[in-house]
Structure 1
Amino acid sequence: MNLDFTQLVPYLPFILEGIWATLKFVAVALVFGSILGVLLALCKIGSIMFLRWFADAYTSVFRGTPLILQLMIIYFAVPQLTGYDITAFTSAVLAFGLNSAAYISEIIRAGINAVDKGQVEAAQALGIPYKAMMKDIILPQAFKNILPALMNEFITLTKESALVSVIGYLDLMRRAQVVGAELYRNFEPLLFVGLIYWLMVMGLTLIGRQVERRMRASD
């Protein structure tokens, strides 16, 4: 096995910068996807048929097509239609945020439906407005139930972030490919970057478990 990891040493700063590049767009996409996911979930459980139909159609489209296809449509096809270029970062945030929103909306919808309906009836009997009921009573309880599923979605999104390398965004995967092309050695940079991805996922897993423990302790 002709392995030589010492050749990576000069490229370590370049590769490690990819951690920030990756986490930056993933974090923005998660915030965007979470906000949109909550809105879609509320549309799905609401009484307005058009909004329910729209939310269901949205989820069907984004869950039923590959994420890489959505990413390439936003980066390559949308500029063809609009005449305006979209940066790789913006394309990544939009594609991952819109895709994640579809999954998060289903997770939140299931969590809301799992809350005892008696609490909804009690809140309505007390005359609590719908928005206040959802914000202060239903959503906090639903969040406790869906936290493991949400953390799993965040972890999946972090791993799938490597797909942005196909549009030239200098994330971890793209930087590993650049280093591999310069060294004519791909195994070492790819293995090193794989270790970094694993450490990031393990970090998210530990954070999720810690949050779960604190939420159980607060019950």
Structure 2
Amino acid sequence: MSAPSRQDRPDFPWWLVILGAAGLWLGWRVHADDLHAQIFATLWRGVGVTLFVTAVAFSAACAMGLVLAVASLSRLALLRQGARLYIEVVRGIPILVLLLYVAFVFAPALVAAANAVLEPLGFEPLRTRDLSFLWRAIIALAIGYSAFIAEVFRAGIQSVDRGQIEAAEALGLNRWQRFRLVVLPQALRTILPPLGNDFIAMVKDSSLVSVLGVADVTQLGKVYAAGSFRYFETYNIVAYIYLLMTIGLSLALRRIERRLRARHS
């Protein structure tokens, strides 16, 4: 048996060694230096908010994306065109603009629409401020990412061999059973890698919620730097915390991908 070629052998992850060395150095500074320790402790309080926003928004975006993907593959032209209109419009709007639009245009309109229904029924009217900026940010991120995730789901569904679907149809499975038992499990193998990349991207894009004053890592960093004028140290720690989250997630996703490939090889 011939030895694997140089191109087949994986490269030694020197990039990870360099990042690990830089992370250890900054981690040592956080441990040994009172200023870095204080900044890290202040910013670490925002990690929970960052992860909460990301987890809730991504879950909602996946649910919306799956519905959009199924609609875009529907036999009904109205559903296909409606889904395509939503996807193209939302994908063309920057996430920051979408955040501001949802926070200051969509949220007041949503509250007004809810009051139009609730007030005739005798309920107390809602106020716009009752919908916190945290939830406005989650709604905006979910809407923004649902369009991209819809395309991921659509590509994954279309990658399933047509013969598999016809075989399931021959066995007497209805459309829902074919989708749930045959199409979706096979599509997930194609969907998971880009879906993981979108999750990591949302962790980073969640920093945009700081423009609404949501107390995530970035917002706490902005406030601390503005009050202490320690911009260099503060934003080093901000970057360090985001790298801890994103690189950790990236390595975990790569391991999951390898396991999936090994299981189905």
Corresponding residue number in structure 2 for 1:209: 254
Q: 1:215 to 1:79 in 2, by over 3 A?
A: closer
Matches within 5 A, 1:117-128: 117-128=162-173
Corresponding residue number in structure 2 for 1:92: 137
Question: Structure 2: which 5+ runs fail to align?
Answer: 1-29, 113-126
Aligned-partner residue type, residue 65 of structure 2: G
Corresponding residue number in structure 1 for 2:47: 19
Corresponding residue number in structure 2 for 1:131: 176
Is residue 35 of structure 2 the alignment partner of residue 7 of structure 1? Answer: yes
CA deviations 1:79-103 (Å, max 9, x no partner) are 4443623312101110111111110
> Within 1, Cα distance between the matches of 2:202 and 2:107?
25
**What's the C-alpha RMSD, in Å, of the aligned pairs?**
1.6
> Within 1, Cα distance between the matches of 2:190 and 2:149?
13
> Within 2, Cα distance between the matches of 1:203 and 1:30?
18
TM (normalized to structure 2)? 0.77
Aligned-partner residue type, residue 128 of structure 2: Y
CA deviations 1:28-81 (Å, max 9, x no partner) are 001100111111111111112111111111101110011111111111223444
Question: Structure 1: which 5+ runs fail to align?
Answer: none
Does structure 2 retain, via aligned residues, the 8 Å contact 1:75–1:87?
Answer: no
Corresponding residue number in structure 2 for 1:51: 79
SS of residue paired to 1:218: helix
> Within 2, Cα distance between the matches of 1:76 and 1:188?
33
Q: CA deviation at 1:11?
A: 3.8
Among candidates 146, 149, 152, match of residue 104 of structure 1: 149
Among candidates 58, 61, 67, match of residue 30 of structure 1: 58
- The size of the alignment, in residue pairs, is 216
TM (normalized to structure 1)? 0.93
> Within 2, Cα distance between the matches of 1:79 and 1:103?
22
SS of residue paired to 2:45: helix
CA deviations 1:132-181 (Å, max 9, x no partner) are 11111111111101211111111111111111110000111001001101
Q: 1:46 to 1:80 in 2, by over 3 A?
A: closer
> Within 2, Cα distance between the matches of 1:7 and 1:60?
47
Q: Answer with 1 or 2: which has the greater Rg.
A: 2
> Within 2, Cα distance between the matches of 1:43 and 1:17?
40
Corresponding residue number in structure 2 for 1:115: 160
SS of residue paired to 2:147: helix
> Within 1, Cα distance between the matches of 2:107 and 2:48?
27
> Within 2, Cα distance between the matches of 1:184 and 1:13?
17
Does structure 1 retain, via aligned residues, the 8 Å contact 2:40–2:237?
Answer: no
